[in-house]
Amino acid sequence: MSSIRFLRTFVAAARGGSFAAAADQVALTQAAVGQQMRALEAELKKTLFDKTGRTMVLSPAGHLLLPRAEELLAQYESMRRDLQDQRQIAGTIKLGSLITAMGLLSSTLAQLKSLHPNLEVELRVREQTQLMQDVVSGELDAAVVVERQWPEAPGLLWTPCYDETLTVLANSSIASPDASIATLFATQPFIRFDRRTPTGARIDRILRRLQLVPKEFLELNSLLAIAELVRKNVGFSMVPLLKNFDWESDPALSVLQLPGRPVARRVGMLENGRRSHITGVVREEMLAHLRRMKPGS
């Protein structure tokens, strides 16, 4: 099914206007997107993109392919759903999730329940480390977690689903989206995300790399609590731009991009493999749900 994957990446690049936008949408590196597009061009024997400096536009062949590719992908998605409907998916599975991914997973499960009414799901919200341990031990069949180094365990399956770019989050009354990050760190209280977590440790490394010395105020292990404090102008923070929360449209918040190359954490599904015939259906439905979402939402 490599051609389907390549067409999906092509549509993401064409609609997003860049390989970087496509990489974010299909959970690949920018280099992998470029490699797929070169392979697709070689297969079709046509140039699909014209580049002038940093600007990328569709070639005439690309414009011709785009609506046909979207139609083909829609047909493939319909076929996949029809085949899923023929499977007898029933029983109870235990799933876990970080609280920040609960909205996305709940939407996925609501759709899945309509397709498979005999499927029962026990859903549990836990911290990253506990989720990983519970999947490995079999306490959970699968969990939505942040990518990290996984332990060696038979049957363990990791599937990346989407990226969350690390950004600076500030109250809109003290910073616009193009405000000086250095000025924020020099003048405003900083709310730090728990540095004992993989994401918190990564933020700490970024601060040191950028030589930013924050005016430490609080350290919390809840991204949602941090966002709420920022919304109340208690301080500002550096956090991943959470999927499904649309902070960029919140009038009380400003999302500031870090200087240099974007840094992101990768979120996906970890399965223990013991009930992969069911957890695989959940995984594929979540990926399909992500593809239906608007870019950036």
pLDDT at 47: 92
pLDDT tens, residue by residue, 236-264: 999 999 988 889 999 999 999 999 888 99
pLDDT of res. 116:
82
Q: Spell out the domain ranges in the chain.
A: 2-85, 87-157+267-292, 163-265
Type of residue numbered 208 = R
Question: What does the pLDDT read at residue 148?
Answer: 87
Q: Which is higher by pLDDT, 8 or 56?
A: 8
- Helices 30-44 and 2-16 sit at what angle, rounded to 10 degrees? 110
Say if pTM beats, i.e. exceeds, 0.75: no
Task: State what percent of residues in the chain have pLDDT above 70.
Answer: 95
Considering the segment(s) 87-157+267-292 as one domain, its CATH architecture is 3-Layer(aba) Sandwich (3.40)
How far apart CA 208 and CA 224 sit, in angstroms, is 24
Chain CA centroid to CA 64, Å: 30
pLDDT of residue 190: 97
Taking Cα atoms as reference points, which of 288, 277, 266, 279 lies closest to residue 140?
Answer: 279
pLDDT band at 162 (very low <50, low <70, confident <90, very high): very high
Q: Are both 87-157+267-292 and 163-265 of the same fold?
A: yes
Kindly tell me if the per-residue pLDDT of 85 is higher than 70: no
Query: Residue 294's pLDDT band (boundaries 50, 70, 90)?
Result: low
CA dist., res. 206 & res. 291, Å (int): 30
Query: Residue 244: its pLDDT value, please?
Result: 84
What integer is the mean pLDDT of 118-129?
A: 91
pLDDT, tens digit, 9 for 90 and up, residues 60-81:
999 999 999 999 998 888 787 7
Percent residues over pLDDT 90 in the chain: 60
Residue with the bigger pLDDT between 184 and 80: it is 184
Q: What is the DSSP code (8-state) at residue 141?
A: S
76: part of which helix (H) or strand (E)?
helix 60-86
Query: What is the rounded average pLDDT for all residues in the chain?
Result: 89
CATH of 2-85, one of 1.10.10.10, 3.20.20.70, 1.10.132.20, 1.10.540.10: 1.10.10.10
Which of 140, 110, 116 is closest to 128 using CA atoms? Answer: 140
Asked which of 82-86, 131-135, 278-282 is least confident by mean pLDDT, the reply is: 82-86
CATH architecture of 163-265: 3-Layer(aba) Sandwich (3.40)
User: Which carries the bigger pLDDT value, residue 260 or residue 188?
Assistant: 188
